[in-house]
Amino acid sequence: MADRAFCPRCYEDVEFNTVKDTETIELDGAKYTYRIRKAICATCGAEAVHNPYRQEAGEAFDDAVREANGIVSLTIVRDLPKKYNIGKRPLSTLLGWGELTYSRFMEGAIPNREYSDIIKDLYDHPESFKALLLRNGEKIKPVAKRKASEAVDHALHNQYPDAVRIYEVAERMIDLAEGDITPMALQKLVYYAQAFSAILCDAPLFLQPPRAWAAGPVYGQLWHEYKHGVLIPDAVSRDDSPFSDDENDVIEGVYEAFGRYSGPELSRFTHSEEPWVEARQRAGAQDGDWCEEQISLESIVAYFGPIAEKYKIRSSDRIKHYVNDLANKPS
């Protein structure tokens, strides 16, 4: 049966046509304009009452008010649990909020600015949700944690095709450092692992290019996950490692060669290397400028290939000879 609406002119339920329109409402001296759909009686042409469209218009007005005041939309509030396949109560628990807090937001309660910003960040950045799950995942049931973990990994793969692989490299570096590593140093160790694996293995550990940020190469999802510090992952034996023996050798060789240097020292090393320098130049970035320019894998291979030849790096245990020269370069 076709959907019907009540026509006040015909005074009966009628078939209708849908037209798109905009509506403007003034509230407390401010005007809010939003898109709506109207039901138009197919018999007389008058506007008919269709409850789903009325509810939709109410939500559109609510979203317009929220947007104008910098508050997350009701649509995003309701979509967030779907995106990460997590229930309202487990999500509240994961966030450290009251058990029914997120349920109230989904029913239309307006969050304060702090809670709103958290919801928007989690929705826009799967890496932020991944970090939250890593920090607080033990607070929810294992089944809920597993489902949310699978969903966020899927979202990350769509946004960052190598996301899971990059996390694996990062976790291996944290494991080798026994947790004694800063987020800046971790970024650079992952970068050098990518670079030398491209030269010493059949293929690089992952393909995602880093960005040429002011402090050196950075992988966005790692920055979001570890910006507040690193957590020691569960230990994984070499037998259970996701890496081949050659890949493990490169990761361990990079850590052995670079791991004794601080984040700022590693940042200084990358500032003397062509891939980062050329990416910044392409973007016209000056010292300290924000820059989202990618450092291409091609430029990494073009630079580190000759480095491997110069220092006779046929295996990972010779990477340290290159690093020693970097360390002795004047600032």
pLDDT value, residue 238 = 57
Q: Please choose, from the candidates 228, 222, 132, the residue with its C-alpha nearest in 3D space to the C-alpha of residue 173.
A: 222
Q: What is the rounded CA–CA span in Å between residue 126 and residue 119?
A: 11
Task: Point out the least confidently predicted range of 156-165, 196-205, 260-269.
Answer: 156-165
pLDDT in tens, 51-78: 999 999 988 898 888 888 889 988 899 9
Percentage with pLDDT > 90 across the chain = 73
Q: Sketch out the chain's domains with CATH numbers.
A: 5-68 (3.10.20), 74-155 (no CATH), 163-328 (no CATH)
Reduced DSSP (H G I as helix, E B as strand, rest coil) percent helix, strand, coil of the chain, to 5: 55, 10, 30
Q: What is the rounded CA–CA span in Å between residue 268 and residue 331?
A: 8
Q: In terms of pLDDT, which residue wins out, 21 or 162? A: 21
Q: What is the rounded CA–CA span in Å between residue 128 and residue 96?
A: 15
Q: What is the DSSP string of 106-154?
A: HTTPPPPHHHHHHHHHHHH-HHHHHHHHHHHGGGS-HHHHHHHHHHHHH
Contacts for 118 with CB less than 8 Å, ≥ 6 apart: 95
Average pLDDT over residues 285-301: 94
Q: Please choose, from the candidates 145, 262, 275, 140, the residue with its C-alpha nearest in 3D space to the C-alpha of residue 212.
A: 275
